[in-house]
Amino acid sequence: MQHAGAAMHTGIAILLFVCAAFFAACCLLVVAPVYLELRNLNIPPGVANPGKLRMIHCVYVGISVVGQILGRLGLCHQINFIRCCRCFIMASKKPVSPGLRIKDLIFSGVPVRVYEPKTASGEKKRGLVYFHGGGWMFGCIDDYDEVCQYISLESDTIVVSVGYRLAPEHRYPAHLDDCEVVTRHFLSTAATDFEVDPHRVAVGGDSAGANLAAALCQRLSKTPDCHLPSPCAQVLIYPALQMADFHLPSYQQNHSVPILFRGRAAFYFLQYLNGNTSVSQQILEGKHVPVELKLRFKKWLDPDNLPPQFRKGARSPQVIPSHDRDVYHIIKQGLDPEISPLLAEDDVIRLAPPTFILTCEFDVLRDDGILFRKRLKDAGVEVTWEHLSDGFHGIISFFNQGWLTFQSSQRGMDSIVRYIRTL
């Protein structure tokens, strides 16, 4: 009996030891990558709340690592785990403002959420079709609930938030097609179903969503519908606008600034395009664009087109005398304006509607927005530009998120609302 009791205690001790060892190993698997990421971080002086940004980045890296572990164990897919965690962190948990009416609907097979101010007015309201960010892979309607509620309430605008399809389950042009059918549906029903003036409907979004908004405006300008008006404006919040040059000054200066690293920007473009991320390094090295195309794009992507203050400390990229034909074949479609709107021809650029562009100083995509502004202005398009001097990529997502909130996110949101009020 004593031997049996001793054996049981020994077995329990061994089990506890194994569990503790397993837990420690799991912690080590998570902590080690987070520590390495911290060592690679480069948060320059001037970034808003650097400690908070560092902590948020660690949380995101930890979520990604845990998702990878769970994926390898066959418990769940890494992408789905990251999406659930992001939604848990970012989705609004506050009660709906009494000044809004919110409906979840389906427009032409695409889920949307419509935010309607309850205020009565003598004229039809303005509208905004909003495409969320997230690298074409992440983000959802719930993640942007606070952003859309604020825009709708403060600007007295009916906002349609679009739940378009995501990579890796879907590739280009699925995302853009969803945005198009929703926009056309809303334009066709705005007056009758929502008391919105269809001539006062804008499109907009942040990051990948801003890419979709810019590409959509160009697509609609090339295929006009005589029965529907074109968007009256495009609202582009730190837009991703080209995958031809990852050596622009903002890519050099902010290559390791959260939340979007230089390497991840290329990764997200490739996920959207076709999912072949094996060529990421060649793209970052500039081996994916033929010399004749580089010469053609230079007039639009030349760093000399940027204001001097944005070129400080940037090095001229190494001259690549030739390109990798196999890589070019893989990414060729990514240089099309539907994925890289900044590379559209002048006759398309000049058809763009009045534009609002928000850029952040510490963002790899900063120069995309500034160069697009120059192209639009040179073509005679009216442009309003807001620059957050202490902002980083994704800062709008942290608007009104409790302890996650950054002061700059409020300034950015207020600038967006001010512009929308003018439409």
Catalytic residues: 207, 363, 393
Give me the residues paired with residue 107 across strands: 110
* HEC per residue, 167-213: CCCCCCCHHHHHHHHHHHHHHHHHHHHHCEEEEEEEEEEECHHHHHH
Residues 411 and 394 in one domain: yes
Confidence at 19, pLDDT banded by 50, 70, 90: very low
Asked if the structure places residue 346 within a domain, the reply is: yes
The Cα 8–Cα 129 span in angstroms is 65
Q: Which of 394, 156, 136 is nearest to 257 (CA)?
A: 394
Return the pLDDT at 18. Answer: 43
Residues 10, 98 within the same domain: no
Please give the distance of CA 133 from its chain centroid, rounded to a whole number.
Answer: 3
pLDDT of residue 37: 58
Structural domains counted in the chain? 2
Residues in the chain: 423
Quick check: is 256 in a domain? no
Say whether 383 sits in a helix, a strand or coil: strand
Average pLDDT over residues 218-228: 89
Q: Same domain for 135 and 223?
A: yes
What are the phi and psi torsion angles at 331 (to 5°)? -105, 5
Q: Which of 36-45, 66-75, 149-158 has the highest mean pLDDT?
A: 149-158
pLDDT category at 99 given cuts 50, 70, 90 is very high
CA gap 108, 165 in Å, rounded: 13
Does 80 fall in a domain?
yes
Q: What average pLDDT does this structure show over 255-263?
A: 95
- Which of 89, 112, 147 terminates a domain? The answer is 89
**For residue range 272-299, what is the model confidence (pLDDT) as tens digits?**
999 999 999 999 999 999 999 999 999 9
263, part of any domain: no
**pTM of the entire structure?**
0.92
DSSP state of 318: P
| Assigned token pair, 304 | 């000399």
Q: Pick the closest to residue 114 from 38, 43, 209, 185 (CA basis).
A: 185
Q: Are both 55 and 98 inside the same structural domain?
A: no
Residues 188 and 85 in one domain: no
For residues 409 and 343, membership in a common domain is answered with yes
In a domain, 294, yes or no: no
Q: Supply the CATH number for residue 170's domain.
A: 3.40.50.1820
> Averaged over 73-99, what is the pLDDT?
85
Mean per-residue pLDDT of the chain = 90
Residues 3 and 69 in one domain: yes
Residues 154 and 223 reside in one and the same domain: yes
Element of type H or E holding 49: none
Asked if residue 327 is part of any domain, the answer here is no
pLDDT at 391: 96
Residue 7 lies in a domain: yes
Q: Do 105 and 170 fall into the same domain?
A: yes
Same domain for 83 and 115? no
How large a percentage of the chain has pLDDT more than 90?
72
178, 129 contact by CB (below 8 A): no
- Angstrom distance (rounded) from CA 263 to CA 280: 7
Do 221 and 361 lie in one domain? The reply is yes
Average of pLDDT values for 96-114? 95
Q: Per the domain annotation, does 286 fall within a domain?
A: no
CA 330, CA 277: separation in Å to the nearest integer? 10
Domain span at residue 368 reads: 94-242+334-421
d(CA 221, CA 223): 6
185 and 104 share one domain: yes
